[in-house]
Amino acid sequence: MPLLDKFAKYPLLFGPSPISKFDNLSKALGKKVNIFAKREDRNSGLAFAGNKLRKFEYIVPDILAGDYTHIVSIGGIQSNQTLMTVATACKIGLKAVTVQENWVPIPEAEKATYDKVGNIEASRIMGGDVRLVPDGFDIGLRKSFQDAIDDLKAQGFKPYPVPAGCSEHKYGGLGFVGFVDELIEQEKQLGVKFDKVVVCCVTGSSAAGIISGMAQYGREKDVIAIDASFTPEKTKEQTLRIVNNTNKLLGLDKTIDDFQLDTRFAHPCYGLPNEGTIEAIKFVGRTEGVLTDPVYEGKSIQGLIQLVKEGAFEEGSNVLYVHLGGASALSAYSSYFK
């Protein structure tokens, strides 16, 4: 019996996310490896979908088990997490309050529109109670988050808290354990074993879930995480904590003490791309017709491209890129693509 079967699940996805083969990208990089992508950006009909929704599948049953009125979550102004919180709340008939902190030093060219377009615009369309807060970036639990919860309680409501990225939630890692179970079945269907899995990492639960999931099959060392937080020590500590918490929940008798976190691509800070990020976004767009964002996937695809170029993978390897979504925020970064 799969280890996840003991947990309640509320279906929010179309089914297993599809796998694309990036033949053009592989060819453009010298045909050294075979590049595939598992498309979490195309996994559901809710808003723009993406990786947070997979996590909510295991959190929603806990919400529905109580008499909650609101889901409360937190992120930056262009947060994928807060957008998918609003979409999930709409789907299950609740209200959403999202705390949107100023996690990104917004470029001058974007200041007039950054809090009006992209993900935050979509949240407002869906009726989210969007609360802008000037506090800066940190992956930990935030005072502004608690303030929003306390405010709702004072009004007589019953809010359900979901931390940034769902990552500090007790079930935050379970969704991407399910991702791995899907992947193992897809390997059988495709007749392909993926030698390495490359995934972005900030608050940690997507990468952590994949590491835990792969650990079930003795393949946890096949995961390469690309840091996009620019606070790699915090990210690594939190990710490992989520991995081992998830292992305990699953009943998996394995402790993970380390994992590969490539920290070369997160600069200049969380939320802002570097020149290589923009080049990578354009390169993948022009070779595969696939969009990635400047905050997360642009940096992880930048990492994948660099790893291929420097020969980090054995020639002929099958490399799986995990596309976690986020392209819906591109309009907030239009000055980078003029």
List, by residue number, the catalytic residues.
Answer: 79
Residue with tokens 């947070």: 52
**Contact between 67 and 158 (Cβ < 8 Å):** yes
Give dist(CA 78, CA 225) in Å, integer.
Answer: 22
Task: Please name which of 338, 200, 332 lies closest in space to residue 282, comparing C-alpha atoms.
Answer: 338
Task: Please name which of 287, 265, 277, 290 lies closest in space to residue 333, comparing C-alpha atoms.
Answer: 277
Encoding tokens for residue 202? Answer: 């900030």
Give dist(CA 87, CA 127) in Å, integer.
Answer: 9
Encoding tokens for residue 208? Answer: 């952590």
Count CB atoms within 10 A of the CB of residue 146: 14
